[in-house]
Chains A and B, each alone.
Chain A
Amino acid sequence: MNEEKEVEEQSKPLVLEKLEAAHADALLAQDEVRGTTVVVVRKERAYAVLEYLKTDPELAYIYLVDVTAVDNSRMESELMQFDYARFMVVYQLYSYQGQCRVRVKVPVHENDLSISSATGLWRAANWLERETYDMFGIHFEGHPDLRRILMPDDFEGHPLRKDYPLRGRGERERFNFDKQNV
């Protein structure tokens, strides 16, 4: 048992080694969940870390799989330790070269919902960040076209926030055909 554990410790992921060397001050935490390396990154340094992960020739996380967010406002777990940031923006990256994934989590406080857009790195981030804005209200600074993508344009609120009621605030009943440009 002990030997196995030692073997695991020896095979530390390359991405963690390199991040610790290059961006040690940006890392808040690190973990491994079901074979995927998870790093929690300070918001101010998130863009630099993402850029590093993409452009470093040994890492080459050139594929942005997903951008989403998590509302931790009803969660009492270790995730809340980062100065009680309500939201956690999550980037899922994949490296064809290393055939491995990394998950970058960025705590975002409720009183400052802005975060740098990753559209300058991956064009795929455009719609994914629009969805995150639509559902959670995260403002991606530098996004070329930050509009709602799923909900109607006149929708109010951000429905995937935990304080948004499941059955809505009367959108189904206050339905107005005239406001829609079909």
Chain B
Amino acid sequence: MGLDFGPDTGQDGNIITTTIDKVVNWGRKNSLWPMPFGTACCAIEMMATLASKYDLSRFGSEAIRFSPRQSDLLIVSGRISIKMMPVLKRIYDQMPDPKWVISMGACASCGGVFDTYTLIQGVDQFLPVDVYIPGCPPRPEDLIDAVLQVQQKIDSGTLPKGVSHY
């Protein structure tokens, strides 16, 4: 976390010096609230990731919200058709800032094997994707790795200038 321990004052606690960025990022990255957008078999792997065996809550992301207004990590897992894409965009728009997007699996990332008239060839055409996961479908470990990469990304980021509240 990059905490610098100050001199022992001899009182009850130690003094810790750090930056607002680091404290806020530390809080954000360890308490991601994912919004699952599962439309295909990737969603099955996502459910497995959240269940007891793989247990995403070890990394602080167990608070799955089915309301986009309460979540900050959108996991797009599955095929997105041209009819579904406005729905997905609407859900992304409803999520409060700051927010991150994981594009899980081949279909969400590039259309996968479905190079057809109806399928969006990669949701990154319409959403700012932070982490892509390859695989068809990816294993739960891959999704865990993606969440950890999102955590790294949050940790290395800085807060936007002029923000008065966090």
Residues of A within 8 A of B (CB): 150-152, 159, 164-169, 171-172, 175, 177, 180, 182
Contacts and interface: CB of A to CB of B under 8 A. Distances in A.
Given A151-B118, A164-B117, A166-B115, A171 B82 contact: yes
A172 B117 contact: yes
The 8 closest A-B pairs by CB, nearest first: A168-B117, A180-B86, A182-B86, A152-B83, A182-B90, A177-B86, A159-B117, A182-B87
Nearest to A170: B117
Contacts of B87: 182
Interface of B: 82-83, 85-87, 89-90, 115-121, 125-126
Interface on chain A toward B: helix, strand, loop, or mixed SS? loop
Contacts of A177: 85-86, 89
Interface on chain B toward A: helix, strand, loop, or mixed SS? loop
Nearest to B88: A182
Given A152-B83, A166-B116, A172 B89 contact: no
A167 B115 contact: yes
Given A166-B116, A167-B117, A171-B117, A151 B89 contact: no
B110 to A, nearest CB: 12
Contacts of A152: 82-83
Contacts of B90: 182
6 contacts: A165-B117, A166-B117, A168-B117, A172-B120, A175-B85, A177-B89
* Interface-central residue, A150, A159, A175, by most chain B CB under 10 Å: A175
Contact of A167 (B89, B116, B126): B116
A147 to B, nearest CB: 13
